[in-house]
Amino acid sequence: MEGVNVIYTPGHTSDSVTLHLPHENVVIVGDILQGTGSGLRLPVIYEDKDQLLESVRRIASLNPQFVYVSHGTSGKPRWPDEIK
């Protein structure tokens, strides 16, 4: 898709991907993060925590203005402490 970057983000599952829309400066992360209303957290269930943390760090490095999640509240990113 033109204007959309598909980023391989394993960890929650081995085939997880994130969509990055650079012109809107947003990411659609699916299940690799959950929205809590006051920030983002790692999912309770995952296949590989180290891969998950690396994937979330990679997405955070894009400095998105908005993060869409599959579970919970989407919004401005407040990254989980585990990735710092």
Residue 53's nearest CA partner among 69, 4, 20, 61 is 61
The torsion region of residue 63 among left (phi > 0), alpha (psi -120 to 50) and beta comes to: left
| Contact yes or no for 54/16 (Cβ under 8 A) | no
Average pLDDT, the chain: 96
Query: What's the pTM value of the predicted model, to 2 decimals?
Result: 0.93
| Contact yes or no for 66/26 (Cβ under 8 A) | yes
Tell me the domain boundaries of the chain: 5-77
C-beta neighbour count of 32 within 10 angstroms? 25
pLDDT tens-digit readout, 7-38? 999 999 999 999 999 999 999 999 999 999 89
